[in-house]
Amino acid sequence: MLESVDGLILAAGKGVRMVSSLPKVMHPVLGKPMLQHVVETLHALAIERIHVVVGYGHDKLVSEFSKFKLEFVLQEPQIGTGHAVQCYAKSFQVPPKNLLVLCGDTPLISRITLERMMEVHFEKKPSLTMMTMELPDPAGYGRIIRDSSGKVVAIRESKDCTQSEKSLKEVNPAIYLFDGSSLFERLGKLSNHNSQGEFYLTDIIEMLVKDGLSIDTVHEEDHLSTLGINNRTDLSKVAGIMREKVLQKHMAAGVTIIDPLQTWIESNVSIGKDTTIWPGTTICGTTDIGEGCTIGPNTFIENSQIGPVSIIRQKFLRGAVIPQNTILEPLSQGFILPENQE
């Protein structure tokens, strides 16, 4: 990375539509809290200083994520994205060189697109580089407003759009890379004179334009990567997308998965080539399965080590260490294949 970038993850919301006492960003997606997926993406970009704005259930969240060396900012009450960033600025009064702002409920966020944003930002040095995308049905998203020359001049939140603005297909997925000083100089000017009575971070865009500062955009082709999770249906949909990617990775590496629709494998699982996974199998945690194994059907394995050329059928294993050439089948206590048998 050519320049320093700090990360700011907005994660203060309760997530009322989740109908849960657990903070929304702590709900697991493929074995990890959704916030962890976002944090790991930033770590993969070599962003070392990561701040998280917390609110509802912040004690649980801070305790859960203390091992990740994050810096937490409390937002109370939660009155908009602009207010969340204001809370951050009050806690860290010296602006960072660059600040990447994104939401904690988007675990599919594309590392590749974020890298492209940083490349554009470092090369052109605008006051803001923001992600945009086009949707056939943009309902619920803020619209990107451009002038006759194609330059971004504003972002209009969905509930504040005019009828003509609602017809626009280019939307704001709420991922921004700011010049830190340009952002901090304008945060105090935000107002909540809008239909929501909140402080919108998007209002910063019009301030930058009014002051003659430049804004660049990076287009995201894969709209699934920006899916936010607002309810249990969204949670299931995003987990399904992530699960399919994990299964495709294993199949590309030489693992046979008989029926992907009946197989659940979490992201920290490793499986050797020429292993076959039968339907009804769940493999989770930090499980390692050797080469040439047969796993399933109807088998659950968590945080276990399975040696090569083993057969595990209709078993529940948690924290198990299974040596190579082991057979575990229904009603069996397990035994080892003869040395000359494979």
The catalytic residue positions are: 17
Rounded to 5°, the CA angle 137-141-146 comes to 95
> Cβ contacts of residue 129 below 8 Å, gap of 6+?
117, 118, 120, 121, 176, 177, 215, 216, 217, 218
Structure tokens at 129: 């580089």
Structure tokens at 102: 């994104």
Structure tokens at 300: 């659950």
Cβ contacts of 184-193, under 8 Å, gap ≥ 24: 184/89, 184/95, 187/82, 187/85, 187/86, 187/89, 188/86, 190/82, 190/83, 190/86, 192/79, 192/80
CA distance 68 to 62: 10
CA distances from 287 to 37, 156, 267, 277, 315 (A): 19, 46, 10, 14, 15
CA distances from 218 to 176, 178, 318 (A): 10, 13, 45
